[in-house]
Structure 1
Amino acid sequence: MSKVVIFGNSGSGKSTLAKELSLQNNLAHLDLDTVAWKPITPPKRLPMSESGKLINDFLSTNSGWVIEGCYSDLLELVTAQATEVIFLNLPVSACIENAKNRPWEPHKYENKEAQDANLEMLIDWIAQYTARTDTFSKLAHEKLFNDFQGEKTMYVSNQQHI
């Protein structure tokens, strides 16, 4: 059974690809955004132990899965069990365009207007991808990709996997 980890910058197409793979292969789908944050405004990260428990609950109830996100610290909790990793290593400009054209994500925002109100902050966040050194950075994603010993693929455009 497939166990796929997808990661990359915000706006790189992780959720879109994960949904496609999930539907095509009858795999459970976990968006790490749903286990990484406390449901408060402004958002604040859950402690790693709480996120880890939620991830372990997902893993224990699903034999085949797709897990996607930009959180290298959370992804490291599942890569040892993954059969494949996919790094969406798109140019920052492509990620910004994708974010501008993103459909409403009802699991993250109460409506499209609330999502769009967050767009300027998201674009600033995306633009910092190559300069950051945190768990969300290109540097952290490259390390995760390079350290993985199994099947791995890197895409530099969304057209490569359509």
Structure 2
Amino acid sequence: MKIAIVGYSGSGKSTLAQELSQKYETDVLHFDAVQFLPDWEIRSDEEKKRITENFLDRHDSWVIDGNYSKLFYEHRMEEADTIILLLFNRFSCLCRAYRRYIKYKNTTRPDMAEGCKEKFDLAFVKWILWDGRRKREKERYKGLISKYGDKVVVINNQKQLDIYIQNISK
């Protein structure tokens, strides 16, 4: 089973990835942990690609969460048996990100690189509400649906997510 989870920041990609990796007893790769080194330093592009390529080469089954178009995006989408697209509205994502911040304040959440304490600042709010929803991202998601429609699951809200999780648990 290979599952790619993409979508807007704060929509719950990492939480869902962890849940699915446990259900299917497979390894998970969180791209936020690949992107960052301690103290939110950004890892080099070469190292991110090496980590991702090694993960893809070593696993016949996986769950990967995150967009990161430079990290074998087309390869991941092509190989995935299921692509889960989390398209929650911007205000839901903002509320979810804020709740996550409260939960992990002054700590590093499990799906993040060690030493990256949870933060919630103006730049992140701007990313959730506007910058992460630019035309480029919307077109990428439409392209996924168009190209891989039969294996794309679009989830727009928590109710749909709950139903999806309930149905795969049967």
The equivalent residue for 2:49 is: 52
The equivalent residue for 1:26 is: 25
Range with greater deviation from structure 2 (99-108 or 25-34): 99-108
2:140 pairs with 1:110: no
Distance 1:25 1:108, change over 3 A: same
The equivalent residue for 2:133 is: 130
> d(CA) in 1 for partners of 2:64 and 2:58?
14
Distance 1:145 1:43, change over 3 A: farther
Range with greater deviation from structure 2 (73-82 or 143-152): 143-152
Range with greater deviation from structure 2 (100-109 or 7-16): 100-109
**CA deviation after TM superposition for structure 1 residue 61, in Å:** 2.0
The question of whether the paired residues in 2 share the 8 Å contact of 1:18 and 1:67 is answered with: yes
**CA deviation after TM superposition for structure 1 residue 23, in Å:** 0.8
Q: Which structure: greater helix fraction?
A: 2
**CA deviation after TM superposition for structure 1 residue 87, in Å:** 0.3
Q: Which amino acid aligns with 2:55?
A: F
> d(CA) in 2 for partners of 1:149 and 1:141?
11
2:70 pairs with 1:67: no
Distance 1:20 1:41, change over 3 A: closer
TM-score, normalisation: structure 1 = 0.81
Query: What are the Cα deviations for residues 67-109 of structure 1, in whole angstroms up to 9, with x where unaligned?
Result: 0102233232311211110100111111001000013214346
**CA deviation after TM superposition for structure 1 residue 3, in Å:** 0.1
The equivalent residue for 1:144 is: 144
The equivalent residue for 2:9 is: 10
Cα RMSD of the aligned pairs, angstroms, is: 2.3
The equivalent residue for 2:166 is: none
**CA deviation after TM superposition for structure 1 residue 11, in Å:** 0.1
Q: Kindly, what percent of the aligned residue pairs are identical? A: 27
Distance 1:42 1:58, change over 3 A: closer
Secondary structure in 2 aligned to 1:33? helix
The question of whether the paired residues in 2 share the 8 Å contact of 1:28 and 1:66 is answered with: yes
The question of whether the paired residues in 1 share the 8 Å contact of 2:5 and 2:13 is answered with: yes
Secondary structure in 1 aligned to 2:29? strand
Range with greater deviation from structure 2 (87-96 or 75-84): 75-84
**CA deviation after TM superposition for structure 1 residue 132, in Å:** 5.2
TM-score, normalisation: structure 2 = 0.77
